[in-house]
Structure 1
C-alpha cells in the first residue's frame, strides 16, 4: 500500500485506534491532518508520524462538537494541502446512559460526536473527495448490534452511523467516492478505562471460550482501516466490516 502524496484526515488521532491509524498512514507516505482534543497526546502522535515519513502533520486541537469546528478542519486541510483524499472518522465516545435518566444530555452528547460530526465532516469534505475520487472510513463498533443494559444512547448513535454509511454509499457511488465502516470488538483503548471496565476480567471471560478470543490491539484495527482506504479495494463501498476476533460468534 502506498499513500505517497495522498492527504488523509484522521479524527480522534490523539489516542487509540485513531493514533494507530495515523502512524500507519504516515509510514505509508501520507500527508496528514491530525484532529484531537488533547494537545499533549496529539503532539506525541504527530512527532511519531513525522519520524516515520519526515512530513510534519497538520495538527488541529479542537472539540469537533463545537460550532464551526468541522468547517475549520476541512478549511485548514485544504489550505495546507490543496486537496483531501481520505477522511477517517475515528473520533467517538462511549458513555453509559438509560431511558430512565432525568435528562437526555448523554444521548445528545453521543449523537453529537458519534453521528453528527462524521456526517458533517463527510458533507464538508465531499466536494474535495469528488475531485480526488477519494473515500471515507467510519470507525464504529461491533457492540452497536448488541442489546445491553446501560448502553441505549451509545447503541442508537452507532446504529445510526451504520445506516449513514450504507445510505451514503448509494449517493456517493455516482461520484466515484466510497464510504465504508470498520466495526471492532473489544480493543485496548482508553474507552475501556473510561467505562471503568476491568480489562483483565474481560480478557478472562474471552479466554474461557473455546476459541480463546483476545482483546485486540489498536494496530490491528488500524491495519484494516488503512487497507480499506487504500487503492487495493477500489470497489468496496457501503460495507460494514466486523473485525472482532470472533466476538460476535458468542455474544450476539
Structure 2
C-alpha cells in the first residue's frame, strides 16, 4: 500500500485504534492529521508517525463536541496540507446508561461524540473529498450480545452502520467512497474509560473473551 502524498485526517487519534491507524498510514507515506483531547498522547503519536517516514504530522487538540471545533480542525488541516484525501471517523467512547436513569445526560454525551461528530465531520469534509475523490472510513464496534446498561451505546453502533450505508449512496455520486470497519473486541483504553481499574482489567477482558467464538480478542 502506497499512500505517498495522501492526506489523512483521523479523529480519536490520541490512543487505541485511532493512534494505530495514524501510525500505519504514516508508515505507508501519508501525511496525517490527528485529532484528540489528550495533548500528551497526541504528541507521542505524532512523534511516532514522524519517525515512521519523516512525513509532516499535524496534531490538533480539540474536543469535537464543542461547537465550531470540527470546522476549525478541518480548516487547519487544509491550511497545512492543502487538501484531504481520507477521513477516518474513529473518535468515540462508551458509557453505561439505561431507561431507568433519572436523566439523559450520558445518552446525550454519547450521541454527541459517537454519532453527531462523525456526521458533522463527514458533512464538512465532503467538499474537500469531492475534489480528491477521497475516502471515508467509519470505525466502530461490532454488535455484541445485548446487555443491561449499554442501551445508548448499542443504539449508536447500529445507527453508525445505517449512516455508513445511506451516506455511501449519497457520496458515491461525487466520487467519494464511504465504508465501515466494525471491530471485534480489541484491547485498548476502552475499559479504563469505563473506570475499570488495573486490578480488575484482566478479569473484565476474560469475561469479554467469552463473547468471541475463539475466545481471543485483538490488540
Q: Structure 1 residues 209 and 87 mapped into 2: Cα distance closer, same or farther (>3 Å)?
A: closer
User: Partner residue of 1:22?
Assistant: 22
2:108 aligned partner: 108
Q: 1:78 to 1:206 in 2, by over 3 A?
A: closer
2:169 is aligned with 1:170: yes
Match of 2:10 in 1: 10
Matching of residue 201 in structure 1 with residue 203 in structure 2: yes
2:90 aligned partner: 90
Q: Are 1:126 and 2:126 matched, yes or no?
A: yes
The aligned counterpart of 2:179 is 180
Question: Cα RMSD between the aligned structures?
Answer: 1.8
- Deviation, 1:211, is 5.6
Q: How does 1:35-184 map to 2 (within 5 A)?
A: 35-143=35-143, 146-184=145-183
Structure 2 stretches of 5 or more lacking a match?
A: none
TM-score in terms of structure 2 length: 0.93
Distance in 2, Cα, partners of 1:193 & 1:211: 24
Kept in 2: contact 1:206–1:214 (CA 8 A): no
Distance 1:160 1:133, change over 3 A: same
In the aligned structure 2, how far is the partner of 1:132 from the partner of 1:122? 14
* Residue 115 (structure 1) shift: 0.5
Work out whether residues 141 and 184 of structure 2, in 8 Å CA contact, stay in contact via their aligned partners in 1.
Answer: yes
* Pairs within 5 Å for 1:169-248: 169-195=168-194, 196=196, 198-205=200-207, 212-217=214-219
Distance 1:95 1:20, change over 3 A: same
C-alpha change, 1:207 and 1:10, in structure 2 (3 Å) is closer
| Structure 1 position 162, deviation (Å) | 1.0
CA spacing shift, 1:183–1:211, aligned 2, 3 Å: closer
Q: Relative to 1, partners in 2 of residues 1:208 and 1:122: Cα closer, same or farther, differing over 3 Å?
A: closer
Shift of 1:213: 2.4
Q: Is the 8 A contact 1:46 1:56 kept in 2?
A: no
Q: Report if the CA contact (8 A) 2:17-2:90 is conserved.
A: yes
Q: Which runs of 5+ in 1 are unaligned?
A: 218-252
For residue 203 of structure 1, report the CA deviation from its aligned partner. Answer: 4.6
Deviation at 1:206, TM superposition (A): 6.7
Change over 3 Å in CA distance of 1:208–1:125 after alignment to 2: closer
| Residue aligning to 1:220 | none
CA contact (8 A) 1:18 1:90 kept: yes
Structure 1 residue ranges (4+ consecutive) displaced by more than 4 angstroms after TM superposition: 205-211
The CA distance in 2 between the partners of 1:183 and 1:210, in whole Å, is 14
Question: Is contact 2:36-2:63 (8 Å) kept?
Answer: yes
